Copies of this chain bind each other. A is one copy, B any other.
């Protein structure tokens, strides 16, 4: 057991922070979606959006830092590939919240029935 907490930030929370932060931008979500379907080079991706190459490069770096995409060198270009595993982690957390909420509902149910 890891020290009773619930009011202080756990260390691994920064990882979750990065994942959600990375997903909080439409361009980055689009990149994830595309590269989940099919990997693409940095410049191929950059051509899709109305901003500089460097800007898109930064977005990809944010996604990579969050583990939402991985880069694979191939010759002079880097292929970007979406990472479903990290997406799963975010999904699991949200499902956890939903479970908590359902738990509350059933506790309310229990109270009503027992009465």
Give the B-binding residues of A (Cβ under 8 A): 6-10, 13-14, 16-21, 23-27, 29-30, 32-33, 36-38, 48-50, 82, 84, 87-88, 90-91, 93-95, 97-98, 100-101, 103-104
Contact = CB atoms under 8 A, between A and B. Distances in A.
A96 to B, nearest CB: 8
Number of copies: 2
Contacts of A30: 6-7
A10 B37 contact: no
Given A29-B93, A84-B101, 7 more contacts: A6-B30, A7-B30, A20-B21, A33-B100, A36-B104, A82-B101, A91-B94
Given A94-B87, A94-B91, A98-B87, A9 B27 contact: yes
A26 B13 contact: yes
